[in-house]
Amino acid sequence: MSEQAHPTPPVLFSEEPPAPAARAEGRWPELGDRVGAAPAALLTQRLAHRVEAGLEYAVFIGAAADVEGERRELEVWVAPAAQARALVERRRLAVSAWEALAPDVAPAAAALSAQGEWAVLAAPAPGAPPLVPPAALAAFARDAAQGRAARAPRWLRREGAAPQASPDESAINHPTSDNAAVTTAQLVERAEPLLRLLERIHAAGLTLGALHPEHLCVEGSAEGPRARPRWALDLLAQRRPLSMSSAEHLAHLGYSPPESYGHFHAAPGAEADVFSVGMWLFYALTGSPPLHEARRPSHRLPSPSVYHPCLSPELVAVVRRATSPSPRRRYADAAALRGALRWAVRCAARRAAKRSAALHVEVGHDIHVGLLKGQYNPTNQDDIFLGYQPETERGLFVVTDGVSISEHGSGDIASGYVRQASFEAWEALSSAPTTQEDEETLSEVSLSSLQRGTGLSPRVLTDLLNEANRRIGEHVSATQPVFRGPPEGIMAATAVIALLEGDSALLASMGDSRIYLIRDGHICSLMVDDDLATHLMQLGQTPSQASQAPSSAALVNCVGEFKKSAEGGLVPVPVHPQLTLLRLLPGDTLLLCSDGIPDYAGLDEEDAERRMLAAVEGAFSAPKAAFDLIALANAGGGGDNISCVVLRLHAAQEDAP
């Protein structure tokens, strides 16, 4: 590719000084003193400003009129005239590197368009639009239009709810539905050209060192869509030491990982490009603007499920790993990330298939007061319940964690009421009485009456939680008929519940206990924490703003919610748990646990989840996995009560190959 093959671009700059109002019009300071006519209209985007040994230059996207009078997009490199030849050589080397690596997508060579106080290189940019993440995918936009994803958090909707209200099917999230599978396939298809290009770069031992996707575009070709740089991006040797005191390496807000800002004492490698692609996926799924938190080494980004609860769990797991602050915890390169995304597409398609499969459930469970917690409070405020019928492969599994600090009652009593309500619910379900059309109460509903075709009824779980909530209020009212204090001081408990039938699981969550899906080396939390910080993010605050709010870790939705009547008595507030319907596959593992495990199993939450994943997948049985998880949390200090239920799903004997 030679420079003579390209016509000389129009002159964008002149030696004439600009009008005095140049800076006021928002022009870039380093060019404002010498930029020619109407530069604010010509320069549409600043791509880079770099300082290297003996050379300083800026790179822009500009637009100018060609000989036919039509406007076209140009790449513009600018440097003082004394450095013009060095700039020409600098860009020639960059283009040559691309031609050697990927001649089919190499950027265009540049032509010198002006000399004088400033020297300008300009070359036509590709005609295809930049590869920017969509504000949100189509499935997310449809849900938002229907008020699902954009609805107010549950704790803001409690006040007007009727007592003992039963949610309808619209309250259930469906992360394994057809829409979730389509969303996953669409997103991976859009990212495929970028990943293929990065694979070629990484295979050659090179890296872009993190990029902004707007610096690339996707063009059509006979072989299909392909990603192409819009300008002469530098191809860096992986692990090449960088002088972070200079602008030699450009960091892009929201897309560059912490190591691009000098953290971890690590030079950007292939993992930096993995992070950039992961952030592209994150923004496409959430519609969130670029986050300053992406550059922080100790700040893990929130799960995409915080913003959109109906995403494929496998896709969420892949995105979370790709955007890890630590380069060692991400995928090694683009090939590994591409393989993980294809795995997520396959899993999403299998879960959305309209066919049922008989599954065998292997159950493990364990509970411990916690080594450190038991030193100063020997009362275990965690509790669990297991109800399981092996002959029908149906079950009800509950983990509940009493809130430690309360002015009226105690957490162990509150969690005990959750377990008691679970026991009575399971008795009603397993006895399978004859049901009538107008059945409303928990005692009249049997598991056999739940509709397989439309999913498990949420009434069973909400009635269970409402019953526990009511009994907590009765316990306090027995000693205080006229309640004098604020309702927030009443004992409470978190709860996570899994109701299994066939190959489906209806999940419910209130508080900060967890339900994880573990499969093929990936782990994903199926629910989000009901704390103030999470709900503030759902209302539009950034992660930093939400985490800095007073009492950001306080629970805003748990079992033990009341308001006071005019006479001063306690009135239970109807519960609004998170509800999720999950299609299960052979090989899945569901882990229900209190926060004592993720809080103490590792150095931070992400490290804890990696260790939990290894413990569960490395155990020869579900009971052994539960035992290892308790040991893992105690090895990390055991500063809280610890409890877990491990459910391994296997193909039933008649379905086994």
Q: Poorest-confidence range of 80-94, 130-144, 491-505?
A: 130-144
Angstrom distance (rounded) from CA 380 to CA 369: 5
Residue 208 host element (H or E): none
Domain 180-349 has CATH 3.40.190.150: no
Question: Do 180-349 and 355-651 share a fold?
Answer: no
Per-residue pLDDT for 225 more than 80?
yes
Q: What is the mean pLDDT of residues 570-594?
A: 94
User: Which pLDDT belongs to residue 194?
Assistant: 94
| pLDDT tens digits, 330-375 | 999 999 999 999 999 999 999 998 776 788 999 999 999 999 999 9
Q: How confident is the model at residue 311 (pLDDT cuts 50, 70, 90)?
A: very high
In 313-427, at which residue ranges do the beta strands (DSSP E only) sit? 359-368, 382-389, 394-402
Name every residue whose Cβ is closer than 8 Å to that of residue 70 and which is 6 or more positions away in sequence.
none
Closest residue by Cα to residue 577 from 595, 552, 598, 555: 555
Which range has highest mean pLDDT (18-32, 84-98, 163-177, 294-308)? 294-308
CA distances from 39 to 9, 35, 46, 212, 441 (A): 15, 6, 12, 24, 71
Residue 163, pLDDT score? 42
* pLDDT greater than 80 at residue 283: yes
Average pLDDT over residues 539-556: 90
Instruction: Say if CB 157 and CB 576 are below 8 A apart.
Output: yes
Distance CA 502, CA 139 (A): 27
| 5-32: average pLDDT | 39
Q: How many residues does the chain have?
A: 657
Q: Is the pLDDT of residue 462 over 50?
A: yes
CA distance 249 to 236: 10
3-class SS letters over 217-243: EEECCCCCCEEEECCCCCCEECCCCCC
> Worst-scoring range by mean pLDDT, 248-257, 443-452, 479-488?
443-452
* pLDDT for the residue 5: 41
Q: Are 523 and 517 in contact (CB under 8 A)?
A: yes
Lowest mean pLDDT among 7-16, 71-80, 633-642: 7-16
Distance CA 458, CA 583 (A): 15
Give the Cβ contact number of residue 546 at 10 Å: 21
Among the residue ranges 48-52, 259-263, 467-471, the one predicted with the least confidence is 48-52
pLDDT at 12 over 70: no
Q: Which two tokens stand for residue 38?
A: 């109407």
Tokens of 155: 């704790």
Of 100-114, 267-281, 313-327, the poorest mean pLDDT is in 100-114
Angstrom distance (rounded) from CA 632 to CA 626: 10
Fold topology of 355-651:
Phosphatase 2c; domain 1 (3.60.40)
Q: Provide the pLDDT confidence category of residue 124 given band limits of 50, 70 and 90.
A: confident
pLDDT, one tens digit per residue, over 613-642 is 999 999 999 999 999 999 999 999 999 999
Flag whether pLDDT at 222 surpasses 80: no
pLDDT of residue 322: 98
Is residue 25 predicted with pLDDT exceeding 90?
A: no
Domain boundaries, the chain: 3-124, 180-349, 355-651
Q: Which has the higher per-residue pLDDT, 455 or 355?
A: 355
pLDDT at 56: 77
Tokens 């076209």 locate to 72
**pLDDT of 435 higher than 80:** no
**Average of pLDDT values for 530-542?**
90
Q: Residue 397 belongs to what H/E stretch?
A: strand 394-402
CA distances from 432 to 45, 317, 466, 595, 612 (A): 67, 38, 21, 34, 37
